[in-house]
Every structure is written in C-alpha cells, then in structure tokens.
Amino acid sequence: MPDGSSIVLFALAALALLLMPGPAVLYIVTRSIDQGRGAGLVSVVGVGMGSMVHVVAAALGLSAVLLQSALAFRTVKYAGAAYLVYLGVRRLLGKGELAVEPTGSPRSLRRVFVQGVVVNILNPKTALFFLAFLPQFVNVGGAPIGFQILFLGTLMISMGIVTDGLYALAAGSIGGWLKRRPGVISGQRYVTGGILISLGLAAAFAGGKES
C-alpha cells in the first residue's frame, strides 16, 4: 500500500483536480438542469462506473495500449466525440434519450446511467489521465503495483462521486427554478443540445497523442 503521507498528498491533489469543472462535470450539470437532481445523481454514478473501468484497465496495464497505438487512441477518441454529438443532436430535435421525461421513470434513469457510463468509457483522456496520475503515488517497494493503482483509483472515484454529487444537487436546484419560469422549457433543449455538441467537438479536435 502507499504510505500515509502519499495517500494524504494524493487525496489533496485529487480533490483539487475534482473541484475543477471538466467535461464530466459539465455533462452531470446538464443532466441535472435538464431532468432534475435524481437524473443528475444517477449520471454521477454512471460516470463513476465508467471511470472505474479505466482504473481497472490501468491496474492491468491495458491503458498502455492507448499510449502505444495511435489508431486505438483515435478510434476511442472519435467514438466518444461522435456519441456526445449524437446525444446533442437528438436533444436539439426534441426526442431520444435526452428528451425530458419524468424524473422518477425507471426507464429514463436507466438510460441516464448507461449514457454516463458510455460517455466516460469512450473518453481516452480519462484512461491516459489515470495512467499518468496514479503511478506518481505508488510505493514501488510495497504491495503489487496493480493493487495500489486500483486502491488509489477507487479512492479518487469515491471522492469524485461526492464532489460531482454536490454539483448535481446544486444544478438540480437551479434547474427546478428555471423550469418554473415561462419560456425556459421550450428553449431548454437548445442549451442542453448545444452543450453536448460542443463537448463532442471539443473532444474530437482537442490536442492529444495521435502518433
């Protein structure tokens, strides 16, 4: 296991990173405003599960494939970007998975969860981040490296669920206030769709390892 000081340092660094809104936070906030706190919290769990896939892959050494293969990186990168754009277009058209449904609907929440998992799994930068960040706090002379990476990754995801959950609750409150205002509901899908399309385009054209 990493020693106590390394864990404390890791937790502080992870907290600083988690508090900076990124694509996952923006996705969660959009969901919360669009469908309420319940959907936002479900999307938090979905994103966390997607992150766990990357942590396990990093622990097993599979994330190294993305570093060594430009084709693998581009494939995952553009697949994730295309999925975000697809969700945004569907929302702009006022139909599909991102259409506003009753927050308590099991089908709606199931879709929100699955989308959160897929969006994060198809983000190669998440895999690269874990591969680059987690080993910095590993104790080489301690437990097996893979186990330590799994422990640190799980700790960071747990912290992320808490911080992202706070974002979801806050955004859900704002969303409820906005929905009670005339004209907001009719134009809401354009904001949501535009944000998702922007996220997809940013993911597609942002710099990264291509060769």
Per-residue pLDDT band for 100 (boundaries 50, 70, 90) equals very low
- Average pLDDT for 14-19: 84
- Average pLDDT for 108-123: 87
Q: What is the DSSP letter of 134?
A: G
pTM of the model: 0.72
**pLDDT(123) > 70:** yes
* Tokens encoding 198: 């922007």
User: Scanning the structure block, which residue is given the tokens 């960071």?
Assistant: 156
Q: What is the pLDDT of residues 39-57, one digit of tens each?
A: 999 999 999 999 999 999 8
The Cα 34–Cα 108 span in angstroms is 12
- Average pLDDT for 3-11: 82
- Average pLDDT for 187-205: 74
The Cα 83–Cα 27 span in angstroms is 13
CA angle 117, 150, 167 (to 5 degrees): 45
pLDDT of residue 53: 92
- Average pLDDT for 118-123: 84
The Cα 148–Cα 164 span in angstroms is 24
**pLDDT(166) > 90:** yes
pLDDT of residue 65: 65
Write the single-letter amino acid at 38.
G
Are 125 and 63 in contact by the 8 Å Cβ rule? The answer is no
The Cα 176–Cα 104 span in angstroms is 15
Give 169's contacts (C-beta < 8 A, 6+ positions apart): 32, 37, 40, 41
How is the chain split into domains, by residue range? 25-205
Are 38 and 100 in contact by the 8 Å Cβ rule? The answer is no
